[in-house]
A and B are shown apart, each in its own frame.
Chain A
C-alpha cells in the first residue's frame, strides 16, 4: 500500500529540494554574475548581486586574448573521442561480465574500480615518459587515449549494472533464433540498453570535459582543451576574478547546455535499476 504524503511533508520536501538545488547552483550563478562585473565590482564588499553596471568587457578581453574556438574544438574532440572509444571497449567487456561471468568477474570489477582510487599524480611521470617515447605529448590522440583509460572503469561499471537488469533469457532466445555474438550485442542488447548507454555517454562526456589534471599536464599549445583555457586566467598575484569568471562561463556553457537538454535522459539512466 502506497504511503500518503501529507501537504506539510510535501511543502517541506519541496523546500528542501529547492534549498539543495540553489546551494548546488549558486557557485555557477555567482561565476556567471561575476563575469558581467568590472574587476573592482568583482571584489566589492558587500558583494553586488544584481544592481551594478553590467559590462561585456571581460568577454571581449577574453576573446581578444585567447583563441576560444581552438580550445573548444579540442574539448569537443577529446571528450567525444574518449567517450566513443570507451563505449566501444566497455560494451563487450560489460556484456561478458554480465552474461557470461567467471569466478573472477567480481574481483576484476573491483580491481578496475580500485584504479580510480590511485591519485593521478602518482602515475604522472610514467605516463609522461610513455607520452614522450611515443610522441603523444600535446596531441589529441594521446589525450583521447588517456581519458578513455581514466574513465573506463566507470563506463564498464555503469554498463554492467544496466546489462544485469536485462533478462538473459531474451539473449538466449535470440541465440536460438540464430543470432551470432555481433547480432546479439548490436541488435538485441544495445536497443534494450539505450537509456543506460545514453546516460553513460553523457556522464562520460561531462567527466572528460571537466578533467583538469591530465589535460593540463599532457598538453601545451596545440591540443589544450577548455580546462587549460580557464587555467590561463587564474593568477595568485593579481585580481582577475571577473575575467576568470568570463573564461569559466565560456568553458562551461556548452556542457551546461548539453546537461540542461539531456537532464531527463541523464536522471532516467542514472536511476535505472536503482528501484526494483
Chain B
C-alpha cells in the first residue's frame, strides 16, 4: 500500500521527461491512476465483508510516528474516487494542454496532488494524515498558480494557500489534542477506544478540527477562496476543486464522526454552517455569468449540503451524504471539464455569450445533458436518488424537520436552475458568434465528461449493486457499525417524490426569472463590500503594513546602535534576574593561583589593552595574536591539549589572513566624539562586569554533568577511542560536527563568491554615486542618531 501511495510522487519526479512522448502523454500518465484503480478494486471483496486492511511502516520510531495506512469502506470509496476520476482528468489534461510548454511541470504537480490525496484518505496515523493534508494544500497552491505570469492567478493561489494552511494549523493542533485525549495517534485505535465526547479536551479539539475541515471544504465564511481558485486550468478545477480536494474536509468529518460526533455541539455546528453555506453558495451561484464561477459557487453549495447532512442527528444522514458525495463528484467533475472544453474551443466562459453549440459538439452536449439531468435530480439519474434521500433524511428529523426541509428544497431549486442554465444556454438555441471559431472536439477532451455523465446514468440504473458495493461499506465506516443500504428509484408516491417534483418545477420558475433575480440580488449586494473576502484582504494588508512599520523602526541600519541595544537589553534583563533570583551565598572558587598562570593572564590583559588603544593596524594584529597564543597556553595548563593545538594552528592562520588583507583595509579612524566613546565604554564595561559575575556565580554551582560521565564511561567500550574529545566530535556528536564542517564549507565558498563576483568598475562608479547622494539625504538622520 505504501507503494500505491508513493507511486504518484515517484512518477512526479519523472514527469518532466515523460511528457516528451508527445501527443499521447495524457494516456500514458492515465495508466498510473488506472493501475491504482484496479489495485483498489481488488480489495472489493474484503471491503464488502467489512474487513479493514492495514499497513504500517516505521517512520520516526523515536517520536512514535508511524506511516500507517488503513483501508476500510470510507477510505476505499475515496481512494477509488481519487484514482478513478484521475484517469479521465489525466487523459483530458493531455488534450486540453496540448500546446502548453510547461506541461511536464503540470503533470508533476497534479501527480503530487493525487498521491497526497490518496495518502490523506488512507492514513491511519493522525500525523501522517496531517502531512498529506498539508501536501494537498501545497499542490493545490502550485496548480492554482500554474499560470504564474497572471497576477490574478498568483493572488488566488496565495489566498487559497493562506486560508487552507491556516485551517491546517488549527487542524494540527486539533489532531494533537485528539491524540493526547485518546491516548493514541492511530485513527483505528481511537474509533475502537473509549468515548472522548466527555473529555475536557473535547470542545477545543472539535473546534480546531472543524476549522481545518471548514477551510478546506470552503464553508462560509471561508468559502471565497474557491471561486478565486478558478484561475487554475480546467482539469485542476474539475479534479481538485470539485471532485476530490475540497472533499477532504468532508472526508475528515465523516472519518471523525464515530470519534467526535453525536454530541449536541456537533449537531448544532455542522447543520448551521453547512446549511448556511448551502444557501449562500446557491444564492451566489445563480448570479454569476462566468461558467466556471457558476460551477464553483454551486460546488460550495454542495459542500455545504454535505456538511449539513453529516451533522444531522439521524442514521440515514450518513447514507444520504455518501450517496450525494459520489453523485456530486461525477456530475460536477463532468461539468467542469465541459466548461474547460467550451473555453478551449470558443475562447470565452461567459454563458450569456454562448449558444447553439450542440450542433458542433454533439457528444459534449450529450455529456453536459447527462450531468445536468443528474444535477437537477431527474429520474433515472443518480442525482434523483440522492435528492430523495436528502429529503427523506430531513423529513425524518425529530426537531426542525420543517425548517431543514425547506432549506434543502430552496437550495435544490436553485441547483436545478443552475443545471438548466449551464446546459441550455451554451448548447441550445441559435449558434452565437464567439471569439474563437469552435470545431470538432478531440477524443481526449470529450471522453472524460462523457464517461462521468454516463456514470451518473448507469449508477441510477444499477442502484442495488451500487448501494451494496460502494455505499454500504462507507456508511458502515461512518456510523461505525455494519449497515445495509437499499437504494431504489421508485418508492411509490410519497412526500419525497412530491418534494422532488416541486423542486424541479420551482427550479424551472427560478430559471425563467433569472434576469430579475440577478437584478434584485445585485441591488441587495453586500457581499462585495462587507463579505469575508474583504476581511481577508484587509487582514493581509494590515499584517504587511505592520511588518513594514516594524522593519522601519527596528531595522534602522546603524550597526552600532543594534549592538548598543542588544548589550543594554542583555545587561538589564540578565542583571535584574541575577540580582532578584540568585542568592550570592555560594562558595567562591579557590584562589589557588600559580605564577606562570598569572603571568600568562597578565600578558593577555596587556595585549588586549594594546589592541584597544593601538594607533596602527599592525600593532593591533600582533597584539591580537598574542592574546590568541596566550589562550592556547591556558589550554595547555588546564588539560586540553587538543584545544591548544587547534588554537595554535588557527592563530597562525588568522595572522596569515590578517596580514594578507590588512593593507587593503583603511587605517584606523576615529569617527565618534569623546562623549560617545565614554558612553560606549561604560556600556561595554558594564556588560563585561556582568559576565565576570556570571562566570563567578556559575562556577560556584558547577557540578559534573551526567554527560561527562556517560562519555567517559562509553568512550572506549562503545566507540573504541581513547581520546574522549575526538570521540565526541566524530562519533557521539558526529551529526553536529557534520553540520559544523558544512558551515565551514559555506563560509569558504562565501569568501570565494565575494572575491570573484566583484562588481565591475563601471558598476562601482554608479554604486558610489548612489551612495553619495544617499549620504547627503541621510546626514540629518545620522546627526539625530549620533545625538543619542
- Do A and B assemble together? no
